[in-house]
Amino acid sequence: MAQQRIAVVTGGMGGLGESISTKMADAGYKVVVTYSPSNTKHKSWLDEMKSQGYDFGAYPVDVADYDDCAAMAAQIAKASGPIDILVNNAGITRDMTFKKMGKADWDAVMRTNLDSCFNMTKQVMDGMVERAWGRVINVSSVNGQKGAFGQTNYSAAKAGIHGFTKALALEVAKKNVTINTISPGYIGTKMVTAIPKEILDSKILPQIPVGRLGKPDEVAGLIIYLCSEEAAFVTGANISINGGQHMY
C-alpha cells in the first residue's frame, strides 16, 4: 500500500481553508493546517473538527516570517514526515483606495499574501524534487486577474502569485513536481456571506453569470484534482473558478 501523502494547508482554519482541509482528508491525505499565532480559537476549532472525525495536525506560524516558516516546516517533517503537497492559502486584506493606503497597509498584504508563497514553498521544494513528486497549489484571486477598486495591494500580491507559479513550474517540471495557481471569485465563505444581502443582490451577484456565489467545496474539489495523479500534466496553470465573472 502506498504511503499516505502529507498535505499542508496554510490558513487551514479559515472558511475556505476549512473546506480544503476537510475535503483533502476525505480524499485520503494526512492533512496538517497552519494558523496565525494570533488565532485564539484554534483549540475550539480543532475540537470541533475532531468531533466530526478529522484529526488534523496544527501549527501556529507567521507565514510572512521566513524563519518561522522554516522552523514550523521542520516540526511537521519531524512529527509527520516529508511534505508532499503544499496549499498556499493564507491571506489577508487591507482594503482602501490608493490615496488612503499607507506603506504599512501595502507591506502587510504583500508579505502575508505573496512573500508567504516563497517562505513556505522554499521549505518543501528541495524535498519534493529529491523524491520526484510534489504538488504546490497557490490560491490567488479573480481580483489578481482583473483588479478591484480599493485593492491595489491585494490585486498586486495576487497577480504576483501567478508569476511565481509560472517561473517555478518551469524549473521543476522534469522532476514530476507541479506548481499551479487557482483564482477563485466570490465564494460563499463566512466573510462573504456576512456582506449585507442588499449589497450581495445588487452589486455582487449581477457580476456573476451563473447567478450565485461559489461553494467552498467547489474550490476544494479543484485543489483535490490538482493534487491527483490525473493532473500530472497540468503545471504553470492559473485556473479560474469564478462562475464566469471574469474569463481570462
Q: What pLDDT, on the 0 to 100 scale, is given for residue 62? A: 97
Residues 82 and 6: beta-carbon distance below 8 Å: yes
Q: Is the pTM higher than 0.85?
A: yes
Active site residues: 154
Q: What is the mean pLDDT of residues 17-33?
A: 97
- As given in the structure block, the three cell numbers for residue 238 are 492559473
The per-residue pLDDT for range 85-108, each reduced to its tens digit, is 999 999 999 999 999 999 999 999
How far is it, in rounded angstroms, from Cα 195 to Cα 11? 21
The length of the chain in residues reads 248
How far is it, in rounded angstroms, from Cα 167 to Cα 179? 9
To the nearest whole number, what is the mean pLDDT of the chain?
A: 96
The per-residue pLDDT for range 182-210, each reduced to its tens digit, is 999 999 988 788 888 998 999 999 999 99
Q: What pLDDT, on the 0 to 100 scale, is given for residue 78? A: 96
Q: What pLDDT, on the 0 to 100 scale, is given for residue 1? A: 42
Q: What is the mean pLDDT of residues 137-157?
A: 96
How far is it, in rounded angstroms, from Cα 25 to Cα 7? 9
For residue 54, CA distances in Å to 17, 83, 127, 225 come to 14, 19, 26, 21
Q: What is the mean pLDDT of residues 11-39?
A: 95
DSSP string, the chain: -PPPPEEEETTTTSHHHHHHHHHHHHTT-EEEEEE-TT-TTHHHHHHHHHHTT---EEEE--TT-HHHHHHHHHHHHHHH----EEEE---------TTT--HHHHHHHHIIIIIHHHHHHHHHHHHHHHHT-EEEEEE--HHHHH--TT-HHHHHHHHHHHHHHHHHHHHHGGGTEEEEEEEE-SB--HHHHTS-HHHIIIIIGGG-TTSSPBPHHHHHHHHHHHHSGGGTT--S-EEEESTTSS--
Smallest CA-to-CA distance from 138 within 160, 168, 117 is with: 117
Whether 218 shows a pLDDT value over 50: the answer reads yes
CATH code reported for the domain at 6-238? 3.40.50.720
Q: How far is CA 116 from the centre of its chain?
A: 10
Q: What is the mean pLDDT of residues 122-145?
A: 98
